[in-house]
Amino acid sequence: MRASVISENVREVLLTAEQIKDRIAELARDIERDYEGRKPLLIGVLKGAVMVVSDLARELQIDLEMDWMAVSSYGSGTVSSGVVRILKDLDTDLSGRDVLIVEDIIDSGLTLSWLKQNLESRGAASVQICTLLRKPERLKVDVPVRYIGFDVPNEFVVGYGLDHDERYRNLSDVVVLKPSAFGGSDDEISGPVEPARKVVTPGLGDDN
């Protein structure tokens, strides 16, 4: 990592840029297979999903459209408030569209659960979700997610679009920060961070 002011705050690299790139290519193959002959609308959830959408969209060798929504449930904290606000709405009419929501992370699941229902109520033909990361230990609601890059441990992660208080989005890797980066003490560190684990996409026709 080149930026030393940032790397001073990094406890561990959870996923390297190369691991992320390889997994996004695999997810793109799964999505191409499922959406063959259709023209999905990729909806990127600003701001966290910017990197995932831009890399995934360029990997996808199918006809597609893109739109963006900004919602927020976190503010500057590290725990979801559960109250989702639309900060920027779509420009696209969803009637009859095959929608693929693209996210950076599912943590409590509250953002996506709300968003999926919101988009379904606009008349989309289908609404599926693709997320690079999921934190299974933190899920509060059951959201069906078709494409998942990796399950990650119960740590606040940043980089590759993910922020803490708007910082670190520009890191190429996904990393776990030191407690001191949040105003805590690094003496709290008890051992290594659990590894991220790839989540295999279920077979064609399972729930699409």
What amino acid positions are annotated as catalytic residues?
Answer: 107
Q: What mask, x for binding ligand PRP by CB under 6 A, covers residues 19 to 58?
A: --------------------------xxxx----------
Toward ligand PRP, which CB reaches closer, 35 or 168?
168
> What is the number of the residue whose Cβ is closest to ligand PRP?
48
5 vs 7: CA distance, rounded Å = 6
Of ligand PRP, Mg ion, ligand HPA, none, which one does residue 73 interact with (CB within 5 to 8 Å by kind)? ligand PRP
Residues 136-165 that bind ligand HPA (CB under 6 A): 156-158, 162-163
Could you give phi then psi for residue 24, rounded to 5 degrees?
Answer: -65, -35
Please report, for residues 15, 30, 110, 148, the alpha-carbon distance to residue 202 in angstroms, rounded to integers and kept in the order given: 22, 9, 23, 10
Q: What is the CA radius of gyration of the chain?
A: 17
Question: What string of DSSP letters covers 145-170?
Answer: -SEEEEE--SS-EEBTTB-BTTBSTT
CB of 97 to ligand HPA, least distance (A): 27
Footprint on this chain of ligand HPA (rule: CB under 6 A)? 74, 105, 107, 156-158, 162-163
